[in-house]
């Protein structure tokens, strides 16, 4: 290699984060000991199934850190000056991810033994390596935190109805199972109601689906305002809602249901611009937990009572 080429290579090495503050004589030593290799786009640099004994510093080109799973999703992108393989060199383990050349790359290869000799000659390399690892750890923590945040969002969306902001059927079924188990152990009473908005299909046909959405939001708000803190309610599906009354028998539940029926009837419905829309009424079916009943049978009992309320003329409560 010509002297000018050596100087150019050493100058390039000196700009890499790993070699910040490294004396010139050590950089010459690195130039003599470390090989520069070319890899082509798509070529694998690191693989969790193969042992790794070197650090690879990207001189030119780009690489991808990929999920080692079947999907091979890109987790991060590496560019000029960044390195890979340091973790498996330090701990002697397998690479934790797959690294693939995203483009044709030129790499400076530092073998494991060479790295330890280099650190002995220039301890500043250890500091630079720690900075690299710290930066990577910080990034990994940010990814984990974002993943946890998204997990909470998904969990919320899986249990909350987006239109009304109420819990959904999945959440209600889980809650009702727990309440039934608790009441069976404690001997407490438990009642539920199933509410259906009267003639909701006709309302949608006459006023439009957006108006129907506004009507459902008004019903949900009327229920929220009319229930006790200990009561729970959810949108069961379509125009149906279910409320759970722990510690309440059928007689007391009927009084609550009548108040809620009247609240729905009186609650104003407005469109998204605030203009008034026709109000709605609701039919309600009540059921109380009986010995040996499970969630499905209790819901079936409330559903049967709801149909009795509808058949009796709607806008009423039935047991």
Both tokens of residue 285? 């079916």
Q: Is 109 exposed, middle or buried (0-12, 13-18, 19+ CB in 10 A)?
A: middle
CA–CA separation, 10 and 27 (whole Å): 6
Upper half-sphere CA count for residue 108 (Cβ side, 13 Å): 26
CA–CA separation, 233 and 126 (whole Å): 59
- Dihedral pair phi/psi, residue 260, rounded to 5°: -70, -40
Cα Rg of the chain, angstroms: 34
DSSP 148-195: HHHHHHHHHHHHB-TTT-SB-HHHHHHHHHHHHHHHHHH---EEEEEE
Residue 239 is a catalytic residue:
yes
CA–CA separation, 235 and 242 (whole Å): 6
> Which listed residue (86, 146, 239, 240) is catalytic?
239
Show which residues are catalytic: 239
């Amino acid at each position: 290699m010509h002297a000018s080429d050596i100087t150019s290579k050493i100058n390039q090495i000196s700009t890499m984060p790993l070699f910040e503050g490294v004396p010139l004589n050590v950089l010459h030593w690195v130039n003599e000991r470390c090989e520069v290799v070319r890899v082509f786009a798509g070529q694998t640099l690191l693989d969790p199934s193969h042992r790794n004994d070197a650090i690879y510093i990207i001189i030119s080109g780009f690489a991808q850190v990929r999920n080692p799973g079947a999907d091979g999703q890109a987790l991060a992108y590496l560019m000029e000056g960044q390195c890979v393989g340091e973790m498996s060199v330090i701990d002697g383990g397998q690479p934790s991810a797959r690294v693939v050349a995203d483009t044709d790359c030129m790499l400076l290869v530092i073998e494991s033994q060479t790295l330890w000799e280099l650190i002995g000659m220039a301890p500043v390399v250890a500091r630079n390596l720690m900075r690299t690892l710290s930066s990577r750890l910080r990034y990994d923590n940010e990814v984990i935190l974002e993943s946890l945040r998204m997990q909470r969002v998904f969990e919320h969306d899986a249990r909350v109805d987006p239109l009304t902001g109420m819990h959904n059927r999945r959440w209600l079924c889980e809650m009702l199972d727990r309440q039934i188990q608790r009441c069976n152990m404690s001997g407490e009473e438990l009642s539920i109601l199933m509410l259906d908005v009267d003639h909701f299909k006709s309302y949608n046909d006459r006023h439009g689906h957006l108006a129907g959405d506004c009507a459902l939001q008004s019903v949900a708000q009327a229920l929220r305002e009319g229930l006790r803190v200990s009561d729970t309610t959810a949108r069961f599906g379509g125009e149906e809602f279910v409320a759970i009354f722990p510690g309440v028998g059928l007689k007391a539940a009927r009084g609550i249901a009548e108040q809620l029926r009247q609240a729905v009837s009186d609650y104003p419905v407005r469109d998204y611009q605030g203009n008034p829309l026709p109000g709605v009424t609701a039919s309600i079916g009540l059921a109380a937990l009986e010995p040996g009943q499970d969630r499905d049978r209790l819901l079936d009992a409330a559903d049967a009572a709801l149909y009795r309320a509808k058949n009796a003329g709607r806008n009423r409560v039935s047991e």
